[in-house]
Amino acid sequence: MRKGCKYGTHRVIEPQGVLPQPALKISNDMEIYDNEILIDVIALNIDSASFTQIEEEQGGDVEKIKKRILEIVGERGKMQNPVTGSGGMLIGIVEKIGESLIGKTDLNVGDKIATLVSLSLTPLRIDEIIDIKPEIDRVEIKGKAILFESGIYAKLPKDMDETLALAALDVAGAPAQTAKLVKPGQSVLILGAGGKSGMLCCYEAMKRVGPTGKVIGLVRSQKDKERLEYLGVCHEIIIADAQKPVEVLNKTLEANNGKEIDIAINCVNVANTEMSTILPVKDDGIVYFFSMATSFTKAALGAEGVGKDVTMIIGNGYTKGHAEITLQELRENEKLRKVFEELYAN
C-alpha cells in the first residue's frame, strides 16, 4: 500500500507543509498512489484570466503560447499561471484507478470526465500540444493528469454536447445550493437572474418553492427580462440596478406584496451589491452570495449596520451531486437547454 494524503500534500515538492494549490512545485510523476486516479488528458480548458495573460504576454503567437504553457507545466508540475495564480479544468479518460478507491468511486476505467477541481492544484504532464483554440481558451494535448482522493469531477453526459455540459458545470455550485436551501412556500429573490448561474438558480428555485412560493428574478435590462419571460422560470421579474439597495428593496417589496423575502441569492458579477442582497431579506432569513465579487467585510459590517439578523452564506463551488443536479436541469427543460446552447455553446 502506498496511500497519499487525500488532499494531495504528499505530492508537494516546494515549499513543504502547504497544500498543492499554493505550492510552487508539485510532483507530476505519473506512478499513481493507491488513492489517486490517473487520467489520459484530451484537453485543458484554461481559466480565462490565465489564458488572456499568456496570450498577451506572447503577443498572440500560437507557437509561443504553446512553448510558454509547456514551460509552466515543466517548472510547476501543474498548469498554474504564475501571474494570475489561476488554473482551469481538464477533460480526459479515466486510465487507472488506485486500489484503495476501487468500489468507493463511481468511476470506471474508460469514463470520459471533466475535473471540477482547479488545474492550479492538479498534477499534469504534457507530452505534446496538439492544438490551441484561443477563442475558447482550449488546449488540446497528449498527456496525463492525477486526481486526488478529494478531487471532484463530473462524468460527461452522452446525451448533450460537451461545450454545453461544460458551460453548465462551470457554475454547478449555485443551482445545487439553491436546491438544498429553498423550501416549499418560500419567497426567493435572485439577483443577476439573467446570467448563466442566475437562470439555473431561478429554474431550481421554481421547482423547490412549489405552487405556494414565489421566485422573483432581478435583472438589469429589458432583454434579460424578455429571456426570463420566455423561459418561464420566475413568478415576477423586476428590472433594477443591483448596486442601488434602496431601489432593489422597494421593487422587491412591491413584487412580494409588501413583505420581506425568505432567501436572497446573489449571482451578480459586479462589486457593491451586498446591501441590495441583504436589505430585502426578513429576520432569520438566508442570504446566499454566489458572486465572486462579494466583499466579506462589506457583507459582515453591512448586515450589522442595518441590524439584520440574517444568515449569510459564502457560495461553495462544491456540494454533493452538484454536477448531476445542474445537468439534469438542462435535460428537464427544453427552453433552458435551447437558451444555453445559443448563448454558451457556440
Report how far residue 288's alpha carbon sits from residue 267's, in angstroms, rounded to the nearest whole number.
9
Is residue 244 within the footprint of a second copy (CB under 8 A)?
Answer: yes
Binders of a second copy: how many residues, by CB under 8 A?
50
Question: Cα–Cα distance between 190 and 202 in angstroms, integer?
Answer: 7
- Residue list 311-330, contact with a second copy (CB under 8 A): 311-320
Binding a second copy (rule: CB under 8 A), the pick from 229, 305, 335, 343 is: 305
Q: Smaller CB distance to a second copy: residue 147 or 216?
A: 147
**Contact stretch for a second copy (CB under 8 A) within 96-104, 118-126, 135-143, 216-224:** 118-126
Decide if 196 contacts 344 (C-beta within 8 A): yes
Does 25 participate in binding a second copy (rule CB under 8 A)?
no
Q: By CB under 8 A, is residue 146 in contact with a second copy? A: no
> Nearest approach, Cβ of 315 to a second copy (angstroms)?
6
Question: Segment contacting a second copy (CB under 8 A): 13-21, 48-56, 91-99, 197-205?
Answer: 13-21
All three cell numbers of 273, joined, read: 451589491
Binder among 299, 323, 325, 339 for a second copy (CB under 8 A): 299
- For residues 253, 256, 259 and 265, what is the CA-based torsion angle, rounded to 10 degrees? -80
List Cβ<8 Å contacts ≥24 apart for 137-140: 137/45, 137/46, 137/47, 137/48, 137/51, 137/88, 138/43, 138/44, 138/45, 138/46, 139/43, 139/44, 139/46, 139/69, 140/42, 140/43
Does 308 engage in binding with a second copy (CB under 8 A)? yes
DSSP letter assigned to residue 240: -
**Cα(185)–Cα(256) distance, integer angstroms:** 13
Q: Note whether 105 binds a second copy by CB under 8 A.
A: no
To a second copy, the closest distance from the beta carbon of 283 in angstroms equals 7
Contact 26, 122 (CB under 8 A): no
Q: How far is the CB of 308 from a second copy (least distance, A)?
A: 7
Question: Exposed, middle or buried by CB within 10 Å (0-12, 13-18, 19+), for 90?
Answer: buried
Q: For the CB of residue 131, give the shortest distance to a second copy in the complex, in Å.
A: 28
Minimum Å gap between C-beta 250 and a second copy is 10
Residues contributing to the site for a second copy (CB under 8 A): 7, 9, 17-19, 21, 116-118, 120-121, 150-152, 173, 244-247, 275, 279, 283, 289, 292, 294-297, 299-320
